[in-house]
Chain A
């Protein structure tokens, strides 16, 4: 029964991922539409970070924000992204409450 749910979830996820490859090549986009699509990664990153980061620790939205600010601080120092990830995990682990 659970496997059926998994297969349904798989189709619901994979079909939207796959469809654009059939569409994009057939269309020639105007420059403004190309600029829109070029902006999507940055918009997506923004929407993925906030407000989701508030819920990393259910009991305390502040913990998530501080963890994010710590990652921001590390990335301003041009640290490698691997170190940013490790640093943020350690910060959350040792941040009280």
Chain B
């Protein structure tokens, strides 16, 4: 009995930590999702299709891109292939994330991979201690679910209230995700400058590759090759 209570206590503690870590994600997802809903609605998609896209695809950049492509009359296969190219980076991220959750049961971690985005991956990776703790999986589940729910919620709001949001505000919100990426990167870099070198190498590689290939592939190559510098720059052997 005592033991059960202790476990339940740890679980709710991890859930609270997950909510706290997920709050910045909620805050930056809602406005960007609203912007997506607005843009998609204005391009003529119906509310149901717009919301289903956020539920089933759940990948911001690809969703914006697909609306653009539909507007210029691209074919279905073209859009699906472009989505694959743009989102293939999640394969690499999922690989890195799953390597850290090795000791967690398959049935608990497999669903999380489906909802892995740039942002949930980045926040999960910065909070790497939780992976080793008891009930740590609850931390990641709550974190990832709160991001997913806020993405869907923002999409619904944007699709329904499309015309009320001033364009200047929704454009300014485009900086939200970048601000979050920067806010996530700076604290670990202040502790260990080598991590910043890895990030800068990936930036330069991505800028270079993006000159002559689709941005999806150039992010993938920038991440893989830039990450390879970690073989020499990262001290810890364990992920």
Interface string of B203-227 (1 = CB under 8 A from A): 1011100100001001100111011
Contact among A1, A14, A16, A85 for B28, CB-based, below 8 A: A85
* B14 CB within 8 Å of chain A: no
- Which of A17, A57, A86, A89 is within 8 Å of B90, CB to CB? A17
* Chain B contact residues, majority secondary structure: helix
With A5-B80, A46-B206 given, is the CB distance from A71 to B198 under 8 Å?
no
Scan residues 35-78 of chain B and give those whose CB is less than 8 A from a CB of chain A: 45-46, 49, 52-53, 56-59, 62, 66, 70, 76-77
State in angstroms the CA–CA spacing of A63 and B182 once bound together.
16
Size of interface on B: residues with Cβ below 8 Å to A = 100
By the criterion CB–CB under 8 Å, are A17 and B195 in contact? Answer: no
Known: A6-B57, A75-B187, A81-B24. 16 other contacts (CB 8 A): A7-B56, A9-B53, A16-B91, A21-B109, A38-B234, A42-B195, A43-B202, A44-B89, A44-B121, A44-B122, A46-B203, A46-B226, A57-B174, A68-B179, A75-B182, A90-B172
B residues near A, CB below 8 A? 23-24, 27-28, 31, 45-46, 49, 52-53, 56-59, 62, 66, 70, 76-77, 79-81, 83-84, 87-99, 102, 106, 109-110, 113-114, 116, 118, 121-122, 125-126, 168-169, 171-176, 178-190, 195-196, 198-203, 205-207, 210, 215, 218-219, 222-224, 226-231, 233-234, 236-239
